[in-house]
Structure 1
Amino acid sequence: MLEEKLIKEKVLRDPIHNFIHIDDPIILDLINTPEFQRLRRIKQLGIASSVFHGAEHSRFGHSVGVYELARRITERFGHYYSDIWDPKERLVTLVAALLHDIGHGAFSHTFEHLFHTDHEAMTREIIMGNTEIHSVLSQVSPDFPNQVASVIAKTYDNPQVVQLISSQIDVDRMDYLLRDAYFTGTKYGEFDIDRILRTMQPTANGIAFDIAGMHAVEDYIVSRYQMYWQVYFHPVSRGMEVLLEHLLQRVQELYRSSATNESIDNNFVGPLLAPLFTNKALTLSDYLKLDDNVFMTYINIWQSHPDPILSDLSQRFMGRRPLKSMEITNETAPLLDELKVLVNNAGFNADFYTAQNRAYDLPYDDYKPNVAKPRTQIDFLLADGSHRELADISTLVAAIKGKASIDQRFFFPKEMLSIEPDELFADTFKQFRSFIRNNSLTTPNPES
């Protein structure tokens, strides 16, 4: 396919990569579509800004950052590895990098969990559906949208392109670690990206790294591990997510009850959110109208809803009053039902004021062909031309390879610990506090 260039390069200022360079008209056209501009209204870290106040960055910034990394890599591949890198793969790589998150819903992964959507499936639907994105891609060639969608689906026939976009060290992960670390004010996600990019090279089977870059890749793996524990698994952020999930579940319950109960007014949902709470499949058009701002507007309104549960949960969410949490262990897990009874006895509906939440991540693993979702391992090229897997040459990575990071917590109202109860519930609150103290459960400070 013929690649046109802009008469004058466009640049976007970026706090992570300094400049985002754009010299392909198709990239600029894609950025200017309403589907891509929607990403400005979706926060990269969902509601993590309730803990890390600087984390206001968007999926838009992350997506153009991922594109910039792909641009730098393909430019270097074309210059130094023209014998094994096909320059015709450049454009599909750049476009897939730019569009890899186009299907994310409001509040990102929280939305997926609650409404059973898949952002990668939605990404492919946007690319292949009746959208301006599809129209722009079709101008390259009739089959170009399908090529981009197959990269997202990991079925594209060039493993180099697939691994650049989705693997254990890809342009997506490298950008979000650096970007999230910057905006959360943490240092855990920082690593030597320039060194990694300089030692990355294409191979017949995908992507590998020169052995000289091993320590930079080690640093990347450890940085990712620490970011999950210190930022992505933060218990207070998860306490806010539980509030969000439960208040939307309450909305769903009230809305569906209105179909058989005339005393319940279903107008509180409004036309933009209504398709979410029906039994009908959500259309692409309906999906693309949703963003963080839409939900925040309605949650603000629901603070005054006559239903006491929806009103209270909305007020807690808008006022940043997360549910408290404590760790679930083998010893305490059998006792959670008793805790729920105590919460109910204190006047809180345990269905909406308690939750068990499990955070899971596998920091690194080698290729295992027999598992459901095998991972593309990180390979290194040695001086003699042989390949070695990262954990075979790094004792640091070997120590965490295949070991999942899991944090399971039980969430409950903060009042169960801090508010002086009235005489009616005095025994219940005393019993709850005693239960926690006797079982040595953790209750992180919501400001931590």
Structure 2
Amino acid sequence: MKLYNIKDNQERVSFAQAVRQGLGRKQGLFFPETLPEFDNIEQLLSESFVARSSKILSALVGDELSPEQVNSMVEAAFQFPAPIKQVKEDVHALELFHGPTLAFKDFGGRFMAQSLAAVSDGGRITILTATSGDTGAAVAHAFYDMDNIDVVILYPKGKISPLQEKLFCTLGKNIHTVAVNGDFDACQALVKQAFDDEALRQEIGLNSANSINISRLMAQICYYFEAFSQLPESKRDQVVVSVPSGNFGNLTAGLLAKAMGLPIKRFIAATNVNDTVPRYLDTGEWSPKPTIATTSNAMDVSQPNNWPRIEELVKTKGWALEMLAKGAVTDEQSAQTVKELDDLGYLCEPHGAIAYRVLDDQLEDGETGLFLCTAHPAKFKEVVDEILQSDIELPAPLAKHASMPLLSSEMENDFSSLKLLLRKVASQ
């Protein structure tokens, strides 16, 4: 698999290099030189989740890893389902929260861990990532207690749900969690600064586990195919997919699935009031505003990292950006939608509710709607309980960590402090 740096097209790397390196020069994202296209989609959809995903990922990786290696990696990573649930006629929820940390990022985090193990040269690695909630837990659990790998996770202090925080800030060992006095965009900016420091990168073997890393993004392609495989064949030609969007990795993966042959009719980018992309699609002007804290905190992102990949894909495929529908939803609207879904017999949380709200508003006659549910409602227990006047039972993974003490340190939004921390972790 050959990839190039979107910001510096002269930088070309292999899959192994991209996985180990994370980001390219000038903080550029890596993008595949070519994408495989499947012309036997119905045959592919008839296979099991693991078998199909192995074929998709092996086609992407190419001859760097054998099909047998890739299959073994997928078997280890995808040990849980991605079911669709019918919410009402012609509208289905794609549930991506059945993994160990109850969020869609389990797919990408676990496949990245397998990928890094497969391409590692045996040297010590320090993974640095920023999280707005779910990435941290998925990465922490995927890499927990792995030899020669330290993980440093930055998150905005007081701006993720208490249960999200408990799920990844209670592990210890090689997992180091840091509450930053700032928002998610500040955490993300610190990560980018670290990757721009070439001496630091070399010194500590720096890598990223955000959806910056191509292996995470590749894994997410697979559950779009899985969702289609569960739809009746008669419903597969008019499918509209609504994606709750923060850092835009999930939507990027869906568009890649379409580019590889999955017949998705159109996509909807659904955001909360941090609506940089919807405004950009309306006006053509990229004008991020200060990030606003919302009840859908995993989407509280004003400068989404993966947007350049979407623009690159649209350009290389000759698509028009206008193909993307969009919508922004307030906290009040998402709360009302959680109630509406509950009345339909479906328990949801604010992120999935935002995707449903925009989908239901825009779905046309004859279309089949699919909205992504990216986290278990119990991860946002305080918010959902207040909206529904309920008491959601905690699933076992959350119940286990809820009573454990937090192990996080705190840090100002300051790069020199981060450098000291990273060097300390790498020297232990």
TM norm structure 1: 0.29
Identify which of structures 1 and 2 has the higher relative contact order when contacts are C-alpha pairs closer than 8 Å and 6+ apart. Answer: 2
**The structure with more helix, counted as a fraction of residues:** 1
Larger Rg over CA atoms: 1
**The structure with more strand, counted as a fraction of residues:** 2
TM norm structure 2: 0.30
